[in-house]
Amino acid sequence: MTPAAPKSVRWLWTALSALLVVGLAAYGYFVLTGSYGPLVTVFNIPGSFFFILVTATEVYFAYRARGLFEPAEPMRTTWTLILLSACCRLSGAAFTQALTAPISGNLLVMVKVLQPGRPQLLHSIGIIMSGPVAMALLAAGLMRVVVLQRRLGVLGGLTVLDKSFIAAILIFTARQLVDIGGVLFGDRARLSVTQTILWFSDPLLALLLMQAVSIRRSVVNMGQGLVARCWGMMALGVAFTSAGDLMMWAETHGLIATAISPLGWFIWFFAVTAFASAPCYQVEAARKAHEGSYAVRRMAGNQP
């Protein structure tokens, strides 16, 4: 018996599918003609709206999920941290995707507060908030989940494959630290505050991935229940974020062909949709708890 996905989750993934259809059509045009125009338009306008709306949905459902728990309950703090992380990602998305975007629909450009173009400071604040700050809050929240799952005995032991994956993450993080070291000892004059803060993203992402592997293992051990799927979606969001980060790193080092690299940009849409789906499952689980009854006494087949 696998419970159906809640309506909110179905809506989110349907919206993602619609965006992907448009995005892949623009990508097809890019492959055929070599013109980035339609692709950039898709990412700047419907892409930005999707990013902001889906993250706002996550904030709303994370707020509702937080409200399901009493202040003394451990999961209340967990959902507070996840809510704050979602708020950081929303404000980051607003700064990087909408308010500093060089488009005529930009609110700040319309009210003539900012001139068209990307104001660097707001953009940097947005990147920091949606990057290391959001990741640190999410990592703290997920750590509490891992601890709670371990305490309740639903956190299964890691397999050899899980441990190998964690080892690969650590190697990748070490490789990035080597890159950082190169910049640090090479040309310090080029360093900016934003860049320095953004360096925390990679170790935090490594920590998040390790937590995601543990949570995924517990989800595999649990099955397909609503609560299990909530944390499964959170782990999926972290996995997509890491995949997006890996693609960016590979792109920077010229490891990916130019024709393929725009496909990596789509990963961020999957990440944001997975993160937004997680609190939807939690809210749905609480709703299902209040619904139905065992009115008729039966010994077999006693479903509510």
Partner 1 sequence: MRWLHRLRARLRRASAEPAPLPDEPDTPLTPVAELERVLGVWTRWWMRGQGDEPDEQLALAGERAEAELQRFFGQRALQRVQAACSASSDGGTMLLAADRLFVAFLGTRAAMALTRKLYSNLR
Report d(CA 69, CA 65) in Å as an integer: 8
If the CB atoms of residues 70 and 187 are measured against partner 1, the closer one turns out to be: 70
Q: Which stretch binds partner 1 (CB under 8 A): 47-55, 107-115, 125-133, 223-231?
A: 223-231
Amino acid identity at 216:
R
102 binds partner 1 (CB under 8 A): no
Max intra-chain CA distance, the chain: 76
3-state SS, one letter per residue, for 78-132: HHHHHHHHHHHHHHHHHHHHHHCCCCCCCHHHHCCCCCCCCCHHHHHHHHHHHHH
In whole angstroms, how close is the CB of 285 to partner 1 at the nearest point? Answer: 6
Amino acid making up residue 198:
L
What whole-number distance in Å separates Cα of residue 248 and Cα of residue 271? Answer: 14
Site for partner 1 (CB under 8 A): which residue of 166, 222, 243, 250? Answer: 222
Asked whether the CA dihedral 134, 77, 65, 4 is positive or negative, the reply is positive
Restricting to residues 42-71, which ones interact with partner 1 according to CB under 8 A?
Answer: 68-70
Q: Does residue 157 belong to the site contacting partner 1 (CB under 8 A)?
A: no
Pick out residues in 261-290 that bind partner 1 (CB under 8 A).
285-286, 288-290
- Shortest Å, Cβ 152 to partner 1: 6
Tokens representing 230 are 């909530």
User: Is residue 181 part of the contact set for partner 1 (CB under 8 A)?
Assistant: no
Only segment of 45-53, 127-135, 158-166, 292-300 that touches partner 1 (CB under 8 A)? 292-300
Q: Report which of 235, 234, 236, 260 is spatially closest to residue 247, judged by C-alpha positions.
A: 260
Please work out the total of residues on this chain that contact partner 1, with binding judged by CB under 8 A.
36
Sequence-separated (6 or more) residues with CB below 8 Å from residue 164: none
Q: Which of 223, 252, 260, 263 touches partner 1 (CB under 8 A)? A: 223
Question: Does 115 sit near partner 1 (CB under 8 A)?
Answer: no
Residues 95 and 168: their CA atoms lie apart, in Å, by 33
Summarize as ranges the residues that interact with partner 1 (CB under 8 A): 1, 3, 68-70, 73-75, 148, 152-154, 220-228, 285-286, 288-290, 292-297, 299, 302-304
